[in-house]
Amino acid sequence: MKNGPSVLALLVAMLLVLPMAVWAGGGQEKSEPAPVEKGEVMVPQVKTDYGTPSGKLEIFSWWAGDEGPALEALIDLFTENNPRVEVINATVTGGSGVNAKAVLKTRMLGGDPPDSFQVHAGQELIGTWVAAERMLDLTPLFEDQGWMDVFPEDLINLIGTENGIWSVPVNVHRSNVMWYIPEKLEEWGIEAPESWDDFLEIAGDIEAQGVVPLSLATNWTVNHLWESVALGVLGPDKYDALWEGELDWTSPEAIKVWETLDRILDYVNEDFASLSWQQATDMVVEGDAAFNVMGDWAAGYMSTTLGLAPNEDYAWVASPGTDGIFMFLADSFGFPKGVKNEAAALAWLKACGSREGQDTFNPLKGSISARTDSALSKYNDYSKSAAEDFADNRIVGSLAHGVTANEGFMNDFATVMEMFLKSRNPEQAANAAQAIAIQNGIISK
Ligand code: GAL
């Protein structure tokens, strides 16, 4: 058991700091937004006008360093349109937000929210800051900007509850992608595998040529790999059933996911725990590894940062056994209660949701626009293929990037994975996963 603060202590801390969050900033009188009555509850809503934005705007995300160019381009566009605002681009490095989320938690609970912050659409948003009533309902903004008609309904459902809409999606990323270098595969006489059994069949041959069959990186990328393996082994119906609490984690199929992962882990680089996701991509680019399974921010990294051309210098397939399925996630930005600069936060969210903003950000990021009216001519071949697949494929949600399960489960799952990496015991991992699924309300028993 971890010795962290109890829920009660956190609640008391929040009650103590909340009044401090109502304060004057940026020269404007500040107050909590007027709540709107929704059924039994009073929900604070965003206004659609706070006057001309000026002063400092702090945006908080984990898009640092190599992950930064897309956000920087969006900030440039924002600054052109809002010249009186100075953007503070506050980043906490670490893929998938491993470090940023912890810093955000301290700031939110300390009554010092950034003006806007990155958060995954789905349970990660709803189960944390929405549940803690720390966000403004953005429904008036969505209506004002005509976004109800341009964002897919399923996506709006994912960022909404019956009491409101809680963030603005800026993109759609795909999680289940396997990357490789075509020239290298030819040299090694192999093809991209269609299933994990295929992969395991060719892995020995790849290794015999002095090449790592599958590159892997730090802890969260193992969870990322797990979800692709789970989708490949279970298929989309049973994968969804896991999140709906309709498939036991101790069922033979679910145990098989861990067994398959166990066999795959025999063919990854030994130093994986110390690498960043970019370094695992570099291993493929440099010919040290044959394949890497990573979300399509890897396409952004290869195209934007490394200057490689999709379909020529690098290529991709759906991760083994998942052709025709798009495992999706979306980054979004929300409007916390008690921000210092409401006018600038509103202007930022308008930029995030705008067609121009999305078509500036996403071509550099490797993601596609979350809007249905995006200008595809601005995107490279990888993104065009992702947009086609998103329109045609069966869609499922990502665990590692906040869609399918609440943060409690995600954190506990990371612990189960750490245990599995030490024990490599599929049955034990399946039992532990079942226990945390019950504890976190995924399975009701
Ligand atoms: C994901 C996020 C992506 C990308 C990736 C690697 O969670 O949604 O936009 O940043 O992490 O850090």
Digit-coded pLDDT (tens) for 109-131: 999 999 999 999 999 999 999 99
Cα distance between residue 207 and residue 267, in whole Å:
8
Nearest protein Cα to ligand 1, atom 12: 95
What is the token pair recorded at 420? 């599995």
For the ranges 3-17, 83-97, 428-442, which has the lowest average pLDDT?
3-17
| Cα Rg of the chain, angstroms | 22
Is residue 208's pLDDT more than 90? yes
**Which residue do the tokens 């989320």 mark?**
101
Cα distance between residue 299 and residue 49, in whole Å:
37
329 lines ligand 1 (CB under 6 A): yes
pLDDT in tens, 63-87: 999 999 999 999 999 999 999 999 9
Cα distance between residue 349 and residue 86, in whole Å:
15
Q: How many helices (H) and strands (E) does the chain have?
A: 18, 16
pLDDT score recorded for residue 33: 62
Q: Please state the rounded mean pLDDT for residues 349-358.
A: 98
Is residue 417's pLDDT more than 60? yes
> Contact 175/81 with Cβ under 8 angstroms?
no
Nearest protein Cα to ligand 1, atom 8: 331
Probe ligand 1: pick from 275, 331, 399, 404, max atoms within 8 Å of CB?
331
331 lines ligand 1 (CB under 6 A): yes
**Which residue do the tokens 């700031």 mark?**
107
Cα dist from 361 to 169, 204, 311, 391, whole Å: 12, 40, 21, 20
Probe ligand 1: pick from 98, 225, 401, max atoms within 8 Å of CB?
401
pLDDT in tens, 395-414: 999 999 999 999 999 999 99
pLDDT score recorded for residue 190: 98
Q: Please state the rounded mean pLDDT for residues 265-292.
A: 98
Q: What is the dihedral of CA 389, 390, 394, 395, to 10 degrees?
A: 140
pLDDT in tens, 388-398: 999 999 999 99
**Beta-ladder partners of 45:** 137
At 395, phi and psi to the nearest 5? -105, 130
Cα dist from 133 to 24, 258, 350, whole Å: 21, 37, 22
pLDDT in tens, 316-346: 999 999 999 999 999 999 999 999 999 999 9
Is residue 13's pLDDT more than 60? no
Helix (H, G, I), strand (E, B) or coil at 414: helix
Probe ligand 1: pick from 117, 297, 329, max atoms within 8 Å of CB?
297
SS (H, E, C) 339-378: CCCHHHHHHHHHHHHCHHHHHHHHHHHCCECCCCCCCHHH
Cα distance between residue 364 and residue 414, in whole Å:
30
pLDDT score recorded for residue 32: 53
Q: Please state the rounded mean pLDDT for residues 240-246.
A: 98
Provide the 8-state DSSP code for 33.
P
pLDDT in tens, 131-175: 999 999 999 999 999 999 999 999 999 999 999 999 999 999 999
Confidence grade of residue 193 (pLDDT, cut at 50, 70, 90): very high
Confidence grade of residue 12 (pLDDT, cut at 50, 70, 90): very low
Helical H runs in 244-276? 252-264
297 CA distance to ligand 1 centroid (A)?
7
The CA angle 286-290-296, to the nearest 5 degrees, is: 80
pLDDT score recorded for residue 34: 65
Q: What is the dihedral of CA 99, 63, 169, 39, to 10 degrees?
A: 30
Confidence grade of residue 42 (pLDDT, cut at 50, 70, 90): confident
Average confidence score pLDDT of the chain = 93
**Burial (CB count within 10 angstroms: exposed 0-12, middle 13-18, buried 19+), residue 414:** middle
Nearest protein Cα to ligand 1, atom 5: 96
297 lines ligand 1 (CB under 6 A): yes
Confidence grade of residue 90 (pLDDT, cut at 50, 70, 90): very high
From start to end of 219-314, where are the E strands? 289-293
Is residue 2's pLDDT more than 80? no
184 lines ligand 1 (CB under 6 A): no
Q: What is the DSSP annotation of 49-90? A: --SS--EEEEEEES--GGG-HHHHHHHHHHHHH-TTEEEEEE
Cα distance between residue 80 and residue 351, in whole Å:
11
Share of the chain above pLDDT 70, in %: 92
Probe ligand 1: pick from 60, 61, 66, 67, max atoms within 8 Å of CB?
67
pLDDT score recorded for residue 7: 42
Which run of H or E residues covers position 425? none
More confident residue, 89 or 35: 89
